[in-house]
Amino acid sequence: MRRLGPPLGRLSDEALLAGMATGAPEIALAFVRRFQRMVFGIAVAVVDDPQLAEDIAQQTFERAWRHAQVYDSRRGSVKTWLGTITHNLAIDAVRARKATPVSPEDLDALLGIVTRTPEQCALADEAASRIRAAVAGLPREQARAVVMAGIYGMTARQISEFEGIPLGTAKTRIRTAMGKLRTVLGPERADHD
């Protein structure tokens, strides 16, 4: 297949997405290769079912393919856009299938992963390292609440039931945690590579 422009692996995420909009198979394949680990990672973390996660990951790329034309870089990076699509699909799938979105064991395992200190993991970017450190610095109950809400899509009511705490307490934990994370991230865009 004829190459177009510079080697595809070196193109920016935005350029690859632009290529997706043209329907060129080579570019679509490069796009899938670049983001499949991230997309599948989010899907499998949320749904905890490899087969379902693969379906969600496929749907994500299908949507990216269909909607590449309306992506707006001013609203966030391609990664963020794709991650949000995946997350929304995964949350919808979980809400349709399970009463309890996450088991205590899975929550603890993911919490351990997302709060690993920067020295312990390869960092994608500075914003990710700052938010990781910020989550790691939260009191355990707040970190649990924000991970349950932000990654597993659990409502405050679900969190209160899961943790055996009053609804108001669950809301307070979410709010306090988000406030601290927002302070750490500051006014900068956190989603541009």
Partner 1 sequence: MTDRDCEWLRAVADELALGILPGQERAEAIAHLDGCHTCREHVEQLTLVADGLLSLVPGSEPPAGFETRVTDKLGLNRPARRRRPRAGVAVAAAAATALGFGFGGWAVGTAIEGASAPSSRSSGPPGSEHGLLAASLLAPDQRPVGRIFAYTGSPGWVYMSVHLGRDGSGSDSQAGDRSGSGFRAEESEAAGSHGVYPEAGEVSCRLERTDGTSVHIGEFSLDDAGRGYWGAPTRVDPDTVSGARLLAADGSVLATAHFDARQNQ
Site for partner 1 in 151-180 (CB under 8 A): 151, 153-156, 171, 174-175, 178-179
Answer yes or no: are the C-beta atoms of 40 and 54 closer than 8 Å: yes
Minimum separation from the CB atom of position 190 to partner 1 (A): 4
| Residue 107 binds to partner 1 (criterion: CB under 8 A) | no
Nearer to partner 1, 16 or 97 (CB): 16
Residues 45-104 that bind partner 1 (CB under 8 A): 45, 50, 53-54, 57-58, 61-62, 65-73, 75-76, 79-81, 83-85, 87-88, 91
Nearer to partner 1, 69 or 104 (CB): 69
Nearer to partner 1, 33 or 97 (CB): 33
Tokens of 174: 């979410």
Tokens of 59: 């749907």
Tokens of 123: 């960092």
Minimum separation from the CB atom of position 30 to partner 1 (A): 10
Nearer to partner 1, 104 or 179 (CB): 179
Tokens of 86: 């995946």
